[in-house]
Structure 1
C-alpha cells in the first residue's frame, strides 16, 4: 500500500487548488449552517444565564392592599418558592420631570439583584442608585437627584452613588408604563427601603429554585412555571380573604371609636329630649338647640356609614400576576431569537445544499479526470478497494477538515458576533454551547457530498477494463441546437459565438450545475437583502399606509371635554375622532387569539385615521353587520370571510359575529366594527372611550409634555404615540441587521468560490480543446473569451433564475419568521436586485481574469500528447 499512499499525497499536492476549494466550500457551508443555527439558542441561553446570575424572579405579584410578612410566608408554602416583599412606586423627578420606577433597596436582597456599572449600592439614607441609562442624560456620580412634590419619599434630594442594570429591564430602550407623568417610565431607581413613604410593601417577587435549570424561553420552563403559578394562586386565594379582613379591621378601628362616641351622643340627645318633654308635660319635645344637635348627629352618622363603605371597598384585596414575559422587552427578545431560529431552519440549509451540490460535482470531475491513473493501477494488478481507497480518503479528508473547521468556526464566531450586535439589551453573559446536532448533520451531509460522489464515480470507472481506462474519455459529439434552427439569427453570429453556444448545450450537466450554482448564490444574496427590506417594510407600511393617526388617547369615565380642550390647544394638533376601544378574546373552532384590539368608530371620518383594505388593496367599508378582522388574526384563527367567530369583550358578554372582511395588517391583532354592527351584536351602543389624534411632527420631548398635560386634566388614562411604536419596529429590524449581514457576506463568498471552482473544472475538462484552439493561432484574449462567453451567458441565466428562486426562498423564510404579533410583507427594493446582479457579474469578471492568467501558461504539448 506504500506506493498508493505516496500517490495520495502526491495527488493532494498536485491539486492543492482543487483540494483547498473543496475544503472551503464545505467550510463555508458548515460555518453558516452550524453558526446561524447556534445563534437562536445562543441568544436564549445567554439571556438565561444572565437573569439566573442576577436571580430574576419567575413571578411578580402586585396587590391592591400591599404585602406583609404573612404574604411572604404564604408564598413559601409552595414547594421551592423564595419570596421577597419590596416597596415599589412610580414617581417623577430629575432635570426634566422624568418618570422613574422607584424601588426600595434592602441590603442582602437575593431576588432581582442589581448589576453595578459604576459606584456602589445605597448605604445611607440619602443615597440613590440610578439606571445605567440615566448616564446618557448627563447624570454623574456625586450629583444630586431630586424628586418632585407628591413623590412617596421621605426626603426629596438624594446623592447619586451608583449606576446599575436590572434583570427586570433587559431592553435598554423600554422601561414600561406608569400612572404618573407622561405615562412612560424613563429609568428605574433604588433608594433605601426606609426612605419610601409607603406603609407596606407593594410588590412580591417570587423565585423557584427548581426552574433555574430550564432555558427561560423553553416550553419546559413555561410548563413548570405555570404549574407553580397555579399552586401560588391556590394558596393566595384564601390569603386574599384574610388580608382583606386585616385591612378592613385596621381601617374600621378609628371608625368604631367614632361610632362609640356618636352612640353616646345620641343617648345624651335622647335624654335631653325626654327631659324637655317632661318639663313641658309633653307639649314640647324639642328645642332649636336639640334640633341642631340632632342634625349634626345625623350628618356624622352618614359620614361614618360612608367611611365604613369606603373602608370595605378599599380593603378588598385583588392580585395582579405577572411572569417574565410581561417584563418590558422580554417577550420581544424571545420573539427575536425565535425569528432567527426560524430563519436558521431555512437559509443555512439552502446554503449548505448549494455547497454540497457543487462539492459533489467537483469530486465527480476529479475522479473522472483520474481515469488514466485508475487504469494504470488496475493494469498493475491492484484490487478495486486499493484503487478506490485513495479517492475515498481524498474526499473524506476534505469533508472532515472542511466540516470540522467550519462547524467550530461557525459556533465560535457567528453567534458571538450576533450577541455583540445586541447592544440595545443589558450586557449579557455570553453562553453558546456547541451544536452537536447541527455538526453531525453537517458532517454526514459533507461525507455524502464528497465520499458519496467518489464511491459512485469510482465504482463506475472500475467497471471498465484497463485498456479503456488508459484512453482519454471521448468528448461528447456536438449536436444541432435549437438556436441553429432559427436561421436569420444563427446566420448573424460569428464563428466564436456559434462555438460557445454549441458548447453550452454540448455539456448539459456542466451547464445545469453552473446555472444552479450561480442561481443559488444570487438567490442567497437576494434573500439577505430582502430580509432587511421586508422587516423594515412591516413597520413602514403599518404606520404609513394603514395606521395614519399619530396618537391614541385613552379616556377616563369623565372630563372628556377637558382632555379635548388640552388636545386642541396643542400647536401640533391637526384633528381627532372619538372611538370605542376595547380588548377582546376571539375564538373560531379550536383556535383563539387573546388581547385583540376592538375599534368602533363614532364618525364617518374613521378612514382618515385607519385605512382598511383587503390584502389585494381593495378598500373596505365597515358593514352594518359583521366584523372586519386583521390579516394575521384571521390566519391565527384559521378563519375566512363568511365564517362565524366568537368575540368576548373584557367588559361584556360573548357574541357570535360573521367575519365580513379581512383587512391587511402587519403588526398586532385588530377587529373593527361599525356602530350599527356593535349595537346589533351587544344590544347597546358602543361607549366612546378614546381619541385617535393626528398631529404635526413632534419631537420626543414634545410628545412627553403633551402626554403629561393630558394626564394632568384627570380625564386621560394614558397616551400612546405611533412614533414610539415605529421606533420599536425599527429596532426590531436593527436587531436582524447582523444576521442579514452574515447572510450577505457568506453568500457572496460561496458564490465566488462556486464560480471559481466550476470554471476551473470547465478548463480542466477542456484543456485539450483549448490547447488545440491556441495552437491554431488564437490569441490569449480570444482563447479566454472562448470560455468567458459561456460564463457570461450562464451568469445572465443564473442571475435571472436566482431572482425567481430568491423571491420564493424569501417568501418561505418570512412565513417561518412571522410571529403571533408580526407578519412581514415580501419586499425587495431595486438596489437589492442591482447589487446581487453586480456582485455576480464582478465574481464572473474576477474568475475570468484568474482564468486568463492560467490560460496564458497552458502546456499545449503536454495537453495534446496522444496517450496511445
Structure 2
C-alpha cells in the first residue's frame, strides 16, 4: 500500500485535496451561521442585555419596578434616558444616566473607564472612530438638553449590547432626526424627576438562543404578561399624577363656583350667571383636559428585535446559513463525485496486480484490504484536516469581519455533527468506491484480470454525420473528437468537474452582485426621490416646503399621505406595511416607478382598489383580483381588491389613489409627508438640511434613501469575505479536478500515447492529442457552468430572501470573465504539466506486453 502511495503520490494527494476542499467548504460555511449566533448570544449574555424595554410618557417609579417584577422571573431596572443634542455640530445623542448599581445593558469598555464623578462622560466607541473624539476632550451639550451641567470630560469609549451594529443608532426627535452615538453621564446629572426607561430581563431566557423561535415565543408570552399588569398600573399612575396637578385646578373651580353664587345672590338667574362666567369656565375646562392629557400614561414596548441593527444581524446570520445549505453541499457533491471516479479508475488500473495476488493464493479479503486501506487513508486524512481547518478558520474569518463594525465575543464551537456527515460521505466516495470496484474485479478469474481490458470498439460519432464540417477537420482533430465521444464516462466527469467549478465561482459572484443589486434597483429604478420628510401637520403652505425650495440642491417635491398598517389575506398577515396615497397620481411617477411584475407595464392608480409590492403579495399568497383587509395604526380598516402587483425589492408597500383611499376607509387621506427630489448632496449637507427642517420646518423628521441604500451596501459587504472564500475554494477545486482527470486520462492511455509517439508524432502533437480533448470539454463545461451558476444562485437567493427584501438574480460580466479566465488558465497550466510528463514517457516500458 505504501509503495502504491509513493508510486502515485500525485493522485493520492489529489484525492486528499479534493476531499479536504469539500469538507473545508461544507463544515466551514455550515459552522459560520452557528458561530455568528453563538458569538452574539455570548456577548448579550455577558453584558446582560434586557429582553424587554418599556418607555413611558409619564416616567417610571419604584412602584413600576415592583409591577414589572410581578411577572414570574422578571428583573426590572429603571433608567434615566432621553434624546438630546450636543457637540460642535449639535449631533443627536441617545443620553443615558449611568448608575453603577444597574446590572442590565452593561457597557463593554474599549478604552478609559466608567464615570466616577459628576463631570465625567463615557461616549459610544463610534464617537471616537467616526467623529474623532478622544479621551480627555470636553463634550458640551446644547442648552435644550436641560442637564445639571452642560460640559463633561470624556473618560472612556465603550460598546453597548443595545447597539450591536456600529453603523446604526436609530432615530430621534431632535437634531437632524438620526442618532449619531450614545453617551452615559451620572444619573444625577440628567435633571429628570423620574426614570424614563424600564429594562426587564428574565433569568430563564438569558441562556436561550436569542435568534431561536423558542426565544421569540417565550418573549411574546412575557410581553403579554407585562402588558396585563401594566394596564392597571397605567390607570393608577395617571390618577395619582392628576391628583398632584388637581389642587390648583380645584381651587380655581371653587373660586368660579363662589363667583357664580355671588352673581345669583345679586339678582341674576343661574343661567345668566353661568353665561357670564362661561369664558372662565371654558378656559378652566381646557386646562383640565390639558392636564389629563399630560398625565395620561402610555407605554412603548420593544424587544431585542426592535433594537437598532439587531434584526439585521439575525437576517445576515440566517442568510449565511441559507447559503450554507446549498453552496457547500453542491461543492461537496462535486468533490465526492470526482473522488468516486478517481478511486474507481485507480482500482481498475490495478487489474493485473489484483490478478497476480489472486493467482498467488491471497484471499479476496486480503487483496481488497490493500485498496480499501489506501482509500480509507486518503479519505480520513482529507476529512480530518478539512473538518478542523474549515471549522476553526472560516467562521473566525467571518467573525473578524463582523467585529469591525459589531462588538462581538468570538465563539466557535466544534460542529461534531458536521464532522460525522463529512466522514460518512468521504468514506462512501473513497472506501465505498474501492469496495464496489474491487468486489467486481475479484469476481473475474486471475487469467482474465492479468490481461488488459479490451479497448472499446470505435463507433461513428454524431459529428461524422455532418459531412461538410467533418471533411474540414484534419486527421488529429478527427481522432480527438472520436476519442472524446468514445470514452463517455471520462467526458462526462470532465464536463461535470468544469461545469461545477465554473458554476460555483459564478455563484460566488452572483450572491454578492444580487444582494447589492436589491439596493441598486430599489433606490435607482423604483424609488426616484432622495428624501422623505414627515410633516407635523397637514398644511399646503408648509414651512418645510419653503425651506426646501430655498435649498441649493432642491429639484422638486410632492405631497403624499404616508401611514403604516397591516394587511391580511388567505389567513396570512404582513405587519408594518407602508401605505402611500399620493395627492397627485400624475406627479407620483416622477418619484416612484410602479411597474407590473407580469409585463413590466406602468401601473396607473385606479379609483378603486390598491397596488401591492411584490414581496408582500408573495407572503399573502394573493394575485391580481384578490381582496385584502387593511388596518392602519389609527385603527381605520377596510377591504379592497388588488388591481396590480408592482416590482419592489426592499420593504412592503401598499399604494392607493385618493379616491380609492376614501372608498377603503371612508375618509380623506391627510397629506402628512413630502417626497423630495434632490441633487447630489454630501453627508454634511444632508445633516444640515434635516436639522433645519426639524428645527424650523415644523417636521417630525427626515429620512434619506442614501442611508437605506448604505445599509444594504453594508449588508452586501459583510458577505465579501465569504464570497471570496467561495471563489478561491471553487477555483482550487476546479484546478485539482482538471489536473486529476487529465492525469487519469494519461495513465489509462499511456500505451496508446506511446504508440503514436513511436509512430513519429512530435512531442507537441502527442500533447495536443490529449489536450485537444481537454480544450473542447473545458469549453463545453464552461458554457454549462454558466447555466449551473445561474440556477444555483437563483436557488440560494430564494433560500436567503428575508421578509423585507427580494434579491434579484444579478451576475455582472466580471463574474463570467473571471470564471472563464480561471478555467482557461487551469487548462493551460494542466497542458504544460501534461506536456512535460509526456516528453519523459518511457515508450519501451509502456509498450511491454503484460504477459
The structure 2 residue matched to 1:162, chosen from 139, 152, 156, is 156
Alpha-carbon distance, 1:452 to partner? 1.4
CA contact (8 A) 2:339 2:430 kept: yes
Whether the 8 Å CA contact 1:141–1:161 is kept in 2: the answer is yes
RMSD in angstroms over aligned alpha carbons? 1.9
In structure 1, the residue matched to 2:708 is: 725
**20, 28, 33: which is aligned to 1:27?**
20
What is the deviation of 1:260? 5.1
Give the stretch that moved more between structures: 776-785 or 47-56.
776-785
Q: 1:526 aligns with which of 485, 506, 522?
A: 506
Question: 1:225 aligned to 2:225?
Answer: no
- CA deviation profile, 1:277-326 (whole Å, cap 9, x unmatched): 6xxxx8xx89xxxx9x9999876554443332222222221111100000
Q: In 1, Cα distance between the equivalents of 2:403 and 2:207?
A: 26
Helix, strand or coil: the match of 2:176? Answer: coil
Mapped to 1, the partners of 2:548 and 2:404 lie a distance apart of 33
User: 1:680 Cα deviation (Å)?
Assistant: 2.3
**Of 486-495 and 843-852, the range deviating more from structure 2:** 486-495
The corresponding residue for 1:5 is none
Superposition TM-score, scaled by structure 1 size: 0.95
> Do the aligned residues in 2 keep the contact of 1:62 with 1:202 (CA within 8 Å)?
yes
Match 1:120 to one of 103, 108, 113: 113
Partner of 2:480: 500
- For residues 804-834 of structure 1, what are the alpha-carbon distances to aligned partners after superposition, in whole Å with 9 as ceiling and x for unaligned? 1111111111111110000111111111111
**How far is 1:261 from its partner?**
5.8
The equivalent residue for 2:4 is 11
Quote the Cα distance in structure 2 between the aligned partners of 1:442 and 1:108. Answer: 50
Q: Secondary structure at the match of 2:179?
A: coil
Residue by residue over 1:464-521, the C-alpha shift from the partner in whole angstroms, topping out at 9 and shown as x without a partner, is: 0000001111211211111222222222211111111111011110001000000000
What CA distance in whole angstroms lies between the structure 1 residues aligned with 2:501 and 2:659? Answer: 55
Q: How many pairs are equivalent?
A: 845
Q: Give the structure 2 partner of residue 41 of structure 1.
A: 34
Residue number among 375, 392, 396 corresponding to 2:355 in the alignment:
375
**Distance (whole Å) between structure 1 residues aligned to residue 405 and residue 310 of structure 2:** 10
Q: Distance in 1 between matches of 2:247 and 2:394?
A: 66
Matched, 1:792 2:786: no
Deviation string for 1:93-126 (max 9, x for gaps)? 1011101001000112100001111111111111
Contact preservation (8 Å) 1:145, 1:160? yes
Q: 2:730 aligns to what? A: 747
1:146-157 correspondence to structure 2 within 5 Å: 146-157=140-151
Q: What residue in structure 1 maps to residue 583 of structure 2? A: 602
Distance of 1:423 and 1:392 partners within structure 2: 45
My pick for the range that moved more, 467-476 or 431-440, is 431-440
Equivalent of residue 615 in structure 2, options 632, 635, 640: 632
TM-score w.r.t. length of structure 2: 0.97
Helix, strand or coil at the partner of 1:150: helix
| Correspondent of 1:181 among 175, 178, 198 | 175
Distance (Å, rounded) in 2 between the aligned partners of 1:645 and 1:262: 55
Where does residue 103 of structure 2 map in the other structure? 110
- Aligned counterparts of 1:238 and 1:582: Cα–Cα separation in 2: 30
Q: Distance in 2 between matches of 1:222 and 1:246?
A: 35
Pick the structure with greater CA Rg: 1
Alignment of 1:608-757 (within 5 A): 608-615=590-597, 616-713=599-696, 715-757=698-740
Are the aligned partners of 1:558 and 1:715 in contact in 2 as well (CA < 8 Å)? no
1:129-144 map, 5 Å: 129-135=122-128, 136-144=130-138
SS of aligned partner of 1:368: helix
2:757 aligned residue (754, 774, 780): 774
CA distance in 1, matches of 2:286, 2:665: 35
Rounded to whole Å, the distance in 2 between the matches of 1:736 and 1:844 is: 29
CA shift, 1:262, in A, is 5.8
- Name the residue aligned to 2:291: 311
Out of 842, 845, 851, the position equivalent to 1:859 is 842
Whole-angstrom distance in 1 between the partners of 2:768 and 2:353: 31
Match of 1:3 in 2: none
- Which of 170, 189, 192 is the matching residue for 1:195? 189
Q: Which residue, 327, 331, 348 being the options, matches 1:351? A: 331
CA contact (8 A) 1:559 1:714 kept: no
CA distance, structure 2, for counterparts of residue 242 and residue 551 of structure 1: 43
Q: Counterparts in 2 of 1:832-851, with a 5 A limit?
A: 832-851=815-834
Aligned pairs for 1:284-295 within 5 A: none
Provide the rounded CA distance (Å) in 2 between the counterparts of 1:107 and 1:416. Answer: 34
2:564 paired with 1:583: yes
Of 458, 465, 474, the residue aligned with 2:438 is: 458
Cα deviation 1:825-860 (Å, max 9, x = unaligned):
111111111111110000011111111111111121
**CA shift for structure 1 position 434:** 1.5
- Could you tell me how far apart the structure 1 residues matched to 2:628 and 2:762 are? 76
User: Which range is displaced more, 623-632 or 327-336?
Assistant: 623-632
SS in 2 for 1:577: strand
In structure 2, what is the equivalent of residue 74 of structure 1?
67
CA distance in 2, matches of 1:534, 1:782: 45
Q: Give the secondary structure class of the aligned counterpart of 1:509.
A: helix
Q: Pick the aligned partner of 1:824 from 802, 807, 825.
A: 807
Q: Is the 8 A contact 2:45 2:207 kept in 1?
A: no
Q: What is the correspondence of 1:470-489 to structure 2 with a 5 Å cutoff?
A: 470-489=450-469
Alpha-carbon distance in structure 1 between the residues aligned to 2:718 and 2:156: 29
Alpha-carbon separation, structure 2, partners of 1:548 and 1:424: 32
Match of 1:4? none
TM-superposed deviation, 1:356: 0.2
Check whether the contact 1:171–1:424 (CA below 8 A) recurs between aligned residues. no
- Partners of 2:472 and 2:278 lie apart in 1 by 115
Please list every run of 5 or more consecutive structure 1 residues that lacks an aligned counterpart in the other structure. 1-7
